[in-house]
Amino acid sequence: MRTCTDLTRLKGVGPRVAEKLARLRIHCVEDILFHFPFRYEDRTRIVPIGNLRVGDHAVIHGEVQLTEIKFGRRRMLITHLSDGTGMIVLRFFHFNAQQKAALARGVHMQCYGEVRKGQRQLEMIHPEYKYSEQQETLTDVEQALTPIYPTTEGLHQLTMRQLSEQALALLKQGKLKLAELLPEAILEENDLPELVASIEYIHRPPPDAPVNTLQDHEHVMQERFALEELIAHTCSLRLLRQKNREHSAHSISPSTKLEKEFIGNLPFSLTNAQQRVIEEIKSDLEKPAPMQRLVQGDVGSGKTMVAVCAALQAVEAGYQVAIMAPTEILAEQHYRNMQSWFSILGIEMAWLTGKLKTKQRRETLAAIESHEAQVIVGTHALFQDEVTFARLALVVIDEQHRFGVHQRLALREKGKAQDLYPHQLIMTATPIPRTLAMTVYADLDVSIINELPPGRKPVETVVIPDVRRNEIVQRVVKASEQGRQIYWVCSLIEESEALQCQAAEDTANLLAEALPDVRIGLVHGRLKPDQKELVMNKFKQHELDLLVATTVIEVGVDVPNASLMVIENAERFGLAQLHQLRGRVGRGSQDSACVLMYHGSLSQNAKQRLAVMRETNDGFLIAQKDLEIRGPGEVLGTRQTGEMQLMIADFFKHQHLLPTVNRWSDELVRNYPEQTERLIQRWVGENEQFASV
């Protein structure tokens, strides 16, 4: 069905080149046409040397005035070139005697390169050049902007250009056919340019093309394909969702006893949003197909209650539930909280992380296999090979905002028994704008907890340079005197965990010296689990006033009495992470504050980010701002977007296309199955074609 013209039809493609092309996901001539340039060079006109500005990439033409070898720290060849409007220096570090001789005074040459600021005048370092006739003619320059392609080791830019040249020629001669896969209606509705014309334009833009728009991938000819590509990826995920509905799962009747009892024991009532989402989950669980539901709720919106109510449905119906948290600290916290609720209800729990001692581990594994344990909380260790569940029907994945499609699928396979898949409930506090969620989470059903428990006050946030550290330390003292608890978060530029931990240790020591009356604890990623647990529990019990920590406390930690947070080097964090961190305070009824301390002077971007934090506490708004300021890498986590290998589209630049993408993806999956299939083949790499899983 797929039109596929053999690559060997092109000059210069043998088995070795073909192998390299395969690394770029190019398997046939048609693929070359969908392998788009990522930037362009303008070699369509000769720029007078007098008009050059620093940073320009330009073609110049001139006469050599002088060529000499200079001996400085490095030997180099210097050529002075002039065209009557100005003079420029060409600088070569690699050269030979022949080259020096050829660049003699009076020789005419044409160069292409980046203009840089030299010591006394402008210069080009190692420009591309060729000798030319005295009178330059327009045929010396390119007729189109020069495309620069993404390439791979051992495959030259020039080769890529020659291959696309040949492919374009075949297209023009009608020897190669490209099918328009978007339905007529979508082309008309969005006024999209025609397929072949767009392909030609993108590969060889005419001299008058707006280079900057093209560089930014915002030209209408490019947007056409951005739309097509996003639709293809979204359709691929939608098909996955459809396929999922054909699988079987345990159908779980709603709880009549446990849930009521649990809610009755709570000191508060559930918010409307919590109740609504719980109902959505219950209705999923009743179905004989596996639930794949994502619950988005801002930090502190009470996602744990939702997870617990879901778990109770499964337990009452006689099944097991696995609850997975991203860190030991969080797993530990869930385990303790839930145990206090579940033991009253007579529910047996187990707790599994990678760091259990052999004997404990063996006992826990036995309890899971025998169904003695009904609710099992843990880290990724839950899904190692030696874990065998007796009757697993529900998997809850908490705060795994970097949990991509592949991992969701792998986990699902792991939990499968006798052709029955477990239901999956994924909870995230990384809110992303709805239209974006519909694309990147197109394989999931999404519920939103759009309401915080009553009485929450926004966290007052201030931004302060670290030269005013003393004031902040005084603030800590005051807070602790008032019986409040404080987090102090350290960070370092270094990625090294060891250094981060060292920094936290140093800070804790300094604070301890300065504040003899404040009880200080320290947690970081290098502590043993039981040490970590000890410190966290002491903080929870208010046996500690101040907790110095690395970002290990980023997600999930819940100590309502903590009402002041200090974040050092706040300028180094992304918005999503700052919001997560700040979410650790403002959980009780008292006023809370967050001090964002920064070092040195702030970049424009950092200034904007910290200002957003000061102005709002709303996670969805922050996510939207994050998208505007930095792009979605931050919002989604690189792994997640990294998974969708986009060729031309960009979630940030093409946000405005997302509503169209979502609407049409539904339409395509429903009414154009064949085109959908072919779109996915065209745009989505094999290991992302989940529907075949």
Residues that contact ligand ADP, how many (by CB under 6 A): 17
| CB nearer to Mg ion: pick between 521 and 556 | 556
Give the contact letters, 23-42, x = binds to Mg ion (CB under 5 A), - = no. --------------------
State in angstroms the smallest separation of the CB of 555 from ligand ADP: 8
- Interface segment toward ligand ADP; rule CB under 6 A; list 43-51, 118-126, 266-274, 414-422: 266-274
Query: Half-sphere exposure (CA, 13 Å, Cβ side) for 173?
Result: 7
- Among 166, 301, 428, 569, indicate the residue that binds ligand ADP (CB under 6 A): 301
Q: Whose Cβ is closer to ligand ADP: residue 299's or residue 623's? A: 299
Residue from 37, 302, 415, 431 touching ligand ADP (CB under 6 A): that is 302
Question: Residue 648, SS3?
Answer: coil
Q: Are 415 and 389 in contact (CB under 8 A)?
A: yes
Applying CB under 6 A, among 212, 268, 344, 346 the residue interacting with ligand ADP is 268
451 binds, among ligand ADP, Mg ion, none (CB under 5 to 8 A by kind): none
Closest CB to ligand ADP: residue number? 302
* 3-class secondary-structure state, position 647: coil
Matching residue, tokens 């600088």? 91
From the list 219, 250, 412, 587, which residue makes contact with ligand ADP (rule: CB under 6 A)? 587
* Residue with smaller CB distance to Mg ion, 171 or 308: 308
Q: What is the DSSP code string of 272-299?
A: HHHHHHHHHHHHHHHSSS--EEEEEE-T
DSSP 351-393: EE-TT--HHHHHHHHHHHHHT--SEEEESGGGGSTT---SSEE
Binding flag, residue 453, ligand ADP (CB under 6 A): yes
- Of 346, 377, 390, which Cα lies nearest the Cα of 257? 346
The separation between CA 392 and the C-alpha centre of its own chain, rounded to angstroms, equals 31
Per-residue burial over 414-436, b = 16 or more CB atoms within 10 Å of its CB, e = otherwise = bbbeeebbbbbbbbbbbbbbeeb
Per-residue mark of binding to ligand ADP, 414-433 (x: CB under 6 A):
---------------x----
DSSP 46: B
Positions in 339-398 near Mg ion (CB under 5 A): none
For residues 151 and 255, give the distance between their C-alpha atoms in angstroms, rounded to a whole number. 57
User: CA-CA distance, 90 to 112, in Å (whole number)?
Assistant: 11
Compute the distance between CA of residue 129 and CA of residue 103 in angstroms, rounded to an integer. Answer: 11
> Does 415 participate in binding Mg ion (rule CB under 5 A)?
no
Instruction: Name the minimum Å distance from CB 266 to ligand ADP.
Output: 8
Question: Residue 254 Cβ, how far from ligand ADP at the closest point, in Å?
Answer: 20
| 302 touching Mg ion, by CB under 5 A | no
CB 559 within 8 A of CB 424: no
**CB 399, min distance to Mg ion, A:** 6
Q: Compare residues 244 and 461 and give the one whose CB is closer to ligand ADP.
A: 461
Q: Which residues make Cβ contacts (< 8 Å) with residue 470, sequence separation at least 6?
A: none
Q: Which of these segments, 298-306, 353-361, 500-508, 662-670, binds ligand ADP (CB under 6 A)?
A: 298-306
Identify which of residues 42 and 398 has a Cβ nearer to ligand ADP in the complex: 398
Q: Is residue 632 packed enough to be buried (19+ CB in 10 Å), middle (13-18) or exposed (0-12)?
A: buried
In the complex, the smallest distance separating the C-beta of residue 592 from ligand ADP, rounded to whole angstroms, is: 13
**422 or 556, CB closer to Mg ion?**
556
Please work out the total of residues on this chain that contact Mg ion, with binding judged by CB under 5 A: 2
Closest approach, Cβ 453 to Mg ion, in A, equals 13
- Pair of tokens at residue 100: 């020096």
Q: What angle do CA 234, 426, 443 make, to 5 degrees?
A: 15
Cα separation of 229 and 683, whole Å? Answer: 6
Quickly tell me which residue has 């991509």 as its tokens: 404
Cβ atoms of 398 and 303 closer than 8 Å = yes
**Is 619 an interacting residue with respect to Mg ion (CB under 5 A)?**
no
Note whether 270 binds ligand ADP by CB under 6 A.
yes
The answer to whether 553 contacts ligand ADP (rule: CB under 6 A) is no
Considering only 292-300, 318-326, 496-504, 564-572, which stretch makes contact with ligand ADP by CB under 6 A?
292-300
Integer CA distances (angstroms), 545 to 342, 479, 563, 591, in order: 29, 9, 11, 17
User: SS3 for 692?
Assistant: helix
Alpha carbon 662 to its chain centroid, in Å, reads 20
Q: How many CA atoms lie within 13 A of 568 on its CB side?
A: 21
Q: Which does 250 bind (CB under 5 to 8 A by kind): ligand ADP, Mg ion, none?
A: none
Query: In the set 234, 304, 580, 624, which binds ligand ADP (CB under 6 A)?
Result: 304
- Phi–psi pair at 489, nearest 5 degrees: -100, 130
- Least distance in angstroms from the C-beta of 304 to Mg ion: 5
- Distance of alpha carbon 210 from alpha carbon 557, whole angstroms: 51
Which residue number, 274 or 353, has a Cβ lying nearer to ligand ADP?
Answer: 274
Q: Name which of 155 and 426 has its Cβ closer to ligand ADP.
A: 426
556 binds Mg ion (CB under 5 A): yes
- Indicate the residue among 89 and 325 with the shorter CB distance to ligand ADP: 325
Among 164, 198, 271, 296, binds ligand ADP (CB under 6 A): 271
| Contact range with Mg ion by CB under 5 A, out of 28-36, 299-307, 317-325, 497-505 | 299-307
Q: Answer yes or no: are the C-beta atoms of 156 and 654 closer than 8 Å.
A: no
Q: Which does 364 bind (CB under 5 to 8 A by kind): Mg ion, ligand ADP, none?
A: none
Per CB under 6 A, which region of 21-29, 79-87, 303-311, 668-676 contacts ligand ADP? 303-311
**Nearest residue (CB) to ligand ADP, 44 versus 274:** 274
In degrees and rounded to multiples of 5, residue 681 shows phi and psi of -60, -35
The one of Mg ion, ligand ADP, none whose footprint includes residue 205, by CB under 5 to 8 A per kind, is none
For ligand ADP, the binding residue among 205, 300, 422, 433 (CB under 6 A) is 300
Burial 596-627 (b: 16+ CB within 10 A, else e): bbbeeebeeebeebbebbeebbebbebbbbbb
Reduce the secondary structure of 505-563 to three states and give it as a string. Answer: HHHHHHHHHHCCCCCEEEECCCCCHHHHHHHHHHHHCCCCCEEEECHHHCCCCCCCCEE
Contacts to ligand ADP from residues 554-583, by CB under 6 A: 558, 560
Where on the chain is the footprint of Mg ion (CB under 5 A)? 303, 556
Where on the chain is the footprint of ligand ADP (CB under 6 A)? 268, 270-271, 274, 297, 299-305, 429, 453, 558, 560, 587
